[in-house]
Each structure stands twice: as C-alpha cells, then as structure tokens.
Amino acid sequence: MMLLLLGLDYINKANKVASWNSTPCVITDIQKYRRCTTRRPYERDYDPYVYHIKYTYKVNNIEYTSDRYEVTNFSFLPSYAISITGKNYSKGFNTECSVNPYNPRQAILINGYHETNGYCYISILFIFSGFIFLTSFYCCLKGFDFYE
C-alpha cells in the first residue's frame, strides 16, 4: 500500500508543478560534493559529483532564493544529492525555474518528471507493486485457494 501511495504521490506532485509559472532565475551558488557510486568512469555520462545549487528569482519585484532542484524531495536524501550531468550550471548562469503562482517562495529548477524519467519508472513500479499487494491481500481475505 505504501508503494502505491508513494508512486501516486510523485505523479500528483509532478502534475501540480506542471502548472507553475516559468520564471527567469540566476544561479547564485553551486557547491560540488563527491558521491559514493557503483558506476564506473568509463560509463556514459559518468559524473562522480553531486551538486547543491542555490538560485534567485523575482516575482512581483520581490527577490526569492531557493535550492530546490526538482519535485522529488525525499526526506532520506540530502538536499545536495542531485546530479547535473550535461548541464552548464555555474555561478551567474541565467536559466529558468518554475514558481508556484500561489506561493512564490516555492520554486524548482527542473519542472515535471526527471529528464531521464527514472522517477517516473520508479513511480510506475511502486504503483504496480502496490496493486499486486492489494490484489493478493484481497484474494486472501476472500479465501481464494490458489492451489486448487
């Protein structure tokens, strides 16, 4: 059941963020951290670092700062645990961020599903696993005998 809820929660968050306003922003700080990984340097798009990015943006002439990268903010991951392979982020870089029109303090740098769709696949896996669990639980409650 928890897997099902996690998958649905992510899809719900990504759909809400899709309606947020695109706003120009400027990268104000970027810090690089070494990450533990099982990937090898010869693999495609290998980057042995994760990054913590801070950026500023203006809404109604009020400047805000954020460090939120994408819609997924799992509490068990540090806020800097993002990989920006292929991005040219550097201090002073102008880019776009998505801002919540109802609460301008909420913003993310990447809108919608993660570019690799990895989180989308995980969400689908969670939903599928939750569905299988609920189906088997229902069958057990109804007294189905699978071995007859």
Task: Please report, for the chain, how many H helices and E strands are present, in that order.
Answer: 2, 5
pLDDT for res 9: 67
pLDDT for res 142: 73
Proportion of the chain above pLDDT 90, given as a percent: 14
pLDDT, tens digit, 9 for 90 and up, residues 64-121:
998 877 665 544 444 444 555 446 678 888 988 889 899 999 888 876 554 445 556 6
**How far is 122 from 124, CA to CA, in rounded Å?**
5
pLDDT at 125 over 80: no
pTM over 0.95: no
**Across the chain, what does the average pLDDT equal?**
72
pLDDT for res 51: 74
pLDDT for res 4: 57
CA-wise closest residue to 111 among 78, 58, 63, 71:
71
Query: In this structure, is the dihedral angle defined by the CA atoms of residues 27, 31, 32 and 33, taken in order, positive or negative?
Result: negative
Kindly state the average pLDDT of the residues 42-56.
72
